[in-house]
């Protein structure tokens, strides 16, 4: 898997467009970095940049951006609504894909080491990158902000982690580290800034102090007025959206606003957001309102509507959800082919795609026919009595189709390791041993893939029986063809398991796999007959 780290530097400039763009260009022009978002705020006089890349690349991108800021930002002239202590105020490194938190810690430390040397600035480590409890969080380090930094630097306990303990008036100090994905989230309040702040105090974990903690954990927040929106905001950082999700903050803010008799006009997400956080919110509203929504894009749309994410500024999922921004096109040359071309490829003078890929395609078509009938039954007035059953059936069959489609290419690719083993040298005993082990692992992969096809198909049988029992009777033949296709696809995958299993020399693996596959093929025959019998009796 490709290693992806997200870096979200916050610079203390949100009004000078030339400076904002110059920093963006420095990131954009760094090889291996992809600039995903630039979010300036005039009231806060702060711009949040979001970019991704490999561990080395993000460090280079952050350094290049900081170098531009060193030339263009002067903290002696800075003012804004947001707490800050430096021109580059905070620069977190966040794991996205294929990397550990420790790798992000190492990236933060490397950035701090190089930035302190090249730019002659002080840097503090925070969150996962430091073990000093008295200076682990942003509020702890930022206390006193830029204005109090000169005095703070004189204290031994506040000596920077990197760089000299010398006040740099035009820069201040920078905080860098590694953390979990933080969501910057604002709830729009049709009221005054002090009303928004009262709400924030009631909700944020710190509350009004040790004796008056807030209701929600892993939440930092404050209230302010945003001139360009002409409304107040409860502005929060959700430090861990799995502890306090977006929807919980939004609903609690609505309750607080109602108690103050002020209106809520939607909300906004600053920067990017993980897809998981959006889908968690979708699941909440689906359960709360007893909705039936299957497609991911519809779930995202539901969240946009319920949270009012378009109220202050447009929310484009393709631009705001990080997985959508960094996603690479899956390599699925067979599954992405037009049907006519796929059939011709099967018919060509080539061993691939062969029976395994074709079996996965046939099984997917079988489950797909069941899914089709369920979807054509659901929501039809004369079949309202079985809506609840369709709600249970549709996700299972729809999910089976989505899982079976990738198996079309996976089966063709399954022999890669085995073929590499065949090409390995075999002159010495050591080479022969390495070649044998590689080929054996390759054969096990060639067994695992069709076995997975069988297991996915097997998971669809109960739903196929249910659609035979409750689906639109006018679609009987579709369910019959679906059941036969699903059985055939599982049978074809079984034959691929058997033929590849014969070459594996591990008797225990052979016996256990053969038993599992035999159970699945026998069940497929039995369940297909059950589907057809149900239809015959209706």
- 3-class DSSP assignment, residue 502: coil
Would you say 109 and 133 are in contact if contact means Cβ atoms under 8 Å apart? Answer: no
**Omega into 353 within 30° of 0, i.e. cis?**
yes
Residue 86 is classified by DSSP as B
Task: Look at residues 449, 441, 435, 450 and name the one whose alpha carbon lies nearest to residue 506.
Answer: 441
Q: Which of 39, 78, 82, 247 is catalytic?
A: 82
Distances, alpha carbon 522 to alpha carbons 214, 391, 491, 532, in Å: 58, 28, 9, 16
Residue closest to 283 by CA, chosen among 269, 302, 266, 297: 302
End-to-end CA distance of the chain: 50
The encoded tokens of residue 304 equal: 């946009």
Active-site residue 78, yes or no?
A: no
CA separation for the pair 399, 294 (Å, rounded): 10
Contact 10, 83 (CB under 8 A): no
The closest alpha carbon to 311, from 265, 360, 245, 365, belongs to 265
Among 39, 161, 409, 411, the active-site one is 411
Lookup: tokens for 50: 């979001």
Closest CA to 49 of 39, 61, 64, 34: 39
Closest Cα partner for 472 from 406, 391, 359, 377? 377
Helix (H, G, I), strand (E, B) or coil at 141: helix
User: Is 411 designated active site?
Assistant: yes
> Which residues are designated catalytic?
82, 411
């Amino acid at each position: 898997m490709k290693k992806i780290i997200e870096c979200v530097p916050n610079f203390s400039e949100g009004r000078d467009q030339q400076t904002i763009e110059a920093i963006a260009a420095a990131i954009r022009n760094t090889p291996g970095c992809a600039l995903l978002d630039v979010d300036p705020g005039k009231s806060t006089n702060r711009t949040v940049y979001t970019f991704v890349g490999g561990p080395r690349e993000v460090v280079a991108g952050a350094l290049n951006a900081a170098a531009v800021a060193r030339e263009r930002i002067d903290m002696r002239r800075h003012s804004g609504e947001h707490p800050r202590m430096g021109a580059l105020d905070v620069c977190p490194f966040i794991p996205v894909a294929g990397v550990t938190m420790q790798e992000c810690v190492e990236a933060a430390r490397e950035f701090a080491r190089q930035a302190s040397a090249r730019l002659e600035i002080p840097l503090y480590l925070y969150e996962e990158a430091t073990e000093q409890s008295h200076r682990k969080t942003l509020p702890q380090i930022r206390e006193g902000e830029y204005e109090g930094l000169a005095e703070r630097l004189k204290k031994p306990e506040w000596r920077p982690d990197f760089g000299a303990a010398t006040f740099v008036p035009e820069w201040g100090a920078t905080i860098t580290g590694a953390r979990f994905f933080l969501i910057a989230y604002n709830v729009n309040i049709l009221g005054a800034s002090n009303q928004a702040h009262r709400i924030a105090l009631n909700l944020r974990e710190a509350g009004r102090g040790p004796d008056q903690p807030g209701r929600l954990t892993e939440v930092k927040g404050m209230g302010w007025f945003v001139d360009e929106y002409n409304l107040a905001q409860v502005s929060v950082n959700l430090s861990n959206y799995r502890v306090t999700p977006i929807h919980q903050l939004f609903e609690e803010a609505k309750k607080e606003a109602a108690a103050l008799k002020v209106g809520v006009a939607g909300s906004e997400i600053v920067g990017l957001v993980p897809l998981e956080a959006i889908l968690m919110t979708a699941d909440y509203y689906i359960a709360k309102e007893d909705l039936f929504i299957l497609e991911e894009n519809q779930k995202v749309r539901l969240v946009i509507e319920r949270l009012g994410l378009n109220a202050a500024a447009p929310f484009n999922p393709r631009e705001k959800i990080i997985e959508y921004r960094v996603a690479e096109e899956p390599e699925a040359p067979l599954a992405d082919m037009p049907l006519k071309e796929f059939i011709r490829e099967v018919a060509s003078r080539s061993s691939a795609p062969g029976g395994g890929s074709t079996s996965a395609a046939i099984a997917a078509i079988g489950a797909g026919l069941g899914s089709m009938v369920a979807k054509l039954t659901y929501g039809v007035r004369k079949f309202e009595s079985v809506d609840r059953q369709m709600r249970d059936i549709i996700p299972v069959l729809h999910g089976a189709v989505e899982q079976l489609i990738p198996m079309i290419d996976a089966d063709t690719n399954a022999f890669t390791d085995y073929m590499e083993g065949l090409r390995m040298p075999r002159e010495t005993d050591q080479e022969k041993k390495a070649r044998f082990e590689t080929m054996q692992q390759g054969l096990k992969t060639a067994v695992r893939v069709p076995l997975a096809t069988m297991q996915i198909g097997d998971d669809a049988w109960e739903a196929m029986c249910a659609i035979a029992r409750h689906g639109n009777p006018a679609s009987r033949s579709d369910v019959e063809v679906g059941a036969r296709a699903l059985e055939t696809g599982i049978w074809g995958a079984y034959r691929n398991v058997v033929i590849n299993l014969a070459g594996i020399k591990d008797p225990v693996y052979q016996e256990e796999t053969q038993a599992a596959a035999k159970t699945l093929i026998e069940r497929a025959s039995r369940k297909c007959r059950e589907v057809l019998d149900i239809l015959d009796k209706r």
